[in-house]
Amino acid sequence: MFWLLLIPAVCIALCVAFSLFAVWPGAPRKALRRPFYGRSYAHRGLFTPRQDPPENSLPAFAAAARQGYGIELDVQFTQDRQLVVFHDDTLDRMTPARGGVRSTPWPVVSALPLAGSGEHAPLFADVLRTVAAADPATPLIVEIKSHWRHSGAYLTALCRAVLAALAAYPGPYCIESFDPRVVRRIRKLAPGVVRGQLADSYRNHRRIGTPRVAAFLLSHCFGNLIARPDFIAWCPDKRNWAVRLCAALGAMTVMWTAVPEYDIPRLERENDALIFQWYEAEPKYK
């Protein structure tokens, strides 16, 4: 009878132990993380609420680099596997066209105006050249966009293409993704590159239709089991126990995305790096 009473306690202890092991981040690599620490990163470059210049455009990136900011940007494949810097899964919001970016060939994407301007979605290589010309020491946070439907071979090709393009960039760069499979591939393909796990709150995951179990696992960084990231990039919502644990275990913390109505001094105190938009941030605040 005594052993039967212990079974629930043992099961709970095993669940807790597995959860801690799964959520555990990578070992702190302070020297590698130093170029990214205490910096403000212009979210998709420096752009205005009126999209003047447009987000993720060459003028927005050049302006951010000239003003001494780091830069956060988004990279994905077009249908013909050209690396384009574009945030959304679809063309609908930022261009007059409709349809998925990944299902549209580059010649079509490149001809579409961004937000009614004279600018067009740039290739990743062109962004890197533009930023390097403005300030070759600009630190970059590169988000690799993915989808759960993508195969392992597709994700590997995407990660290899991003790393190949970055090899010619003279400044520091790190790579992040919401997809732990992508972060794991960066861990394997480029162990010397700082990698980050993007995480959104359970509430936000449920709002966009993520199933309950997946929403819990993703929001609580269970993908760290395969990714072992150097940093956690967390949303504006209150940190859950898993994100707090990662920070306590030495993971760098990055906040996305700070806007003028937030308590910026508090966010700067609480985070090792800040991704911002629509206000004049301090390029280095720590």
> What residues make up the domain containing 121?
32-276
Residue 158 lies in a domain: yes
Does the pLDDT at position 15 exceed 90? no
CATH number at residue 100: 3.20.20.190
**Can you state the percent helix, strand and coil of the chain, rounding each to 5?**
40, 20, 40
Beta strands in 216-268 (DSSP E): 231-234, 252-258
Residue 176 lies in a domain: yes
**Token pair recorded at residue 35:** 């170029």
240/216 Cα distance (integer angstroms): 11
**Token pair recorded at residue 142:** 């590169």
Q: Determine the pLDDT at residue 14.
A: 82
pLDDT digits 0-9 by tens, 149-176? 899 999 999 999 999 999 999 999 999 9
Question: Among all chains, which residue has been given the structure tokens 């740039």?
Answer: 122
Mean pLDDT, residues 174-188 taken together? 98
pLDDT digits 0-9 by tens, 52-78? 999 999 999 999 999 999 999 999 999
252/268 Cα distance (integer angstroms): 13
pLDDT digits 0-9 by tens, 243-278? 999 999 999 999 999 999 999 999 999 999 999 999
For the chain, what is the domain count? Answer: 1
Residue 91 lies in a domain: yes
- Per residue, what are the HEC states of 46-111? CCCCCCCCCCCCHHHHHHHHHCCCEEEEEEEECCCCCEEECCCCECCCCCCCCCECCCCCHHHHHC
Residue 236 DSSP code:
S
Amino acid at 21: F
Find out whether 216 and 174 touch, Cβ atoms under 8 Å: no
**Token pair recorded at residue 227:** 């990714």
Does the pLDDT at position 42 exceed 60? yes
Residue 117 lies in a domain: yes
H-helix or E-strand spanning residue 194: strand 194-199
Residue 38 lies in a domain: yes
Q: Determine the pLDDT at residue 2.
A: 57
Of the pLDDT bands very low, low, confident and very high (cuts 50, 70, 90), residue 11 is confident
Contacts of 263 (CB under 8 A, 6+ apart): none
Residue 12 lies in a domain: no
Beta strands 83-85 and 70-77 are antiparallel
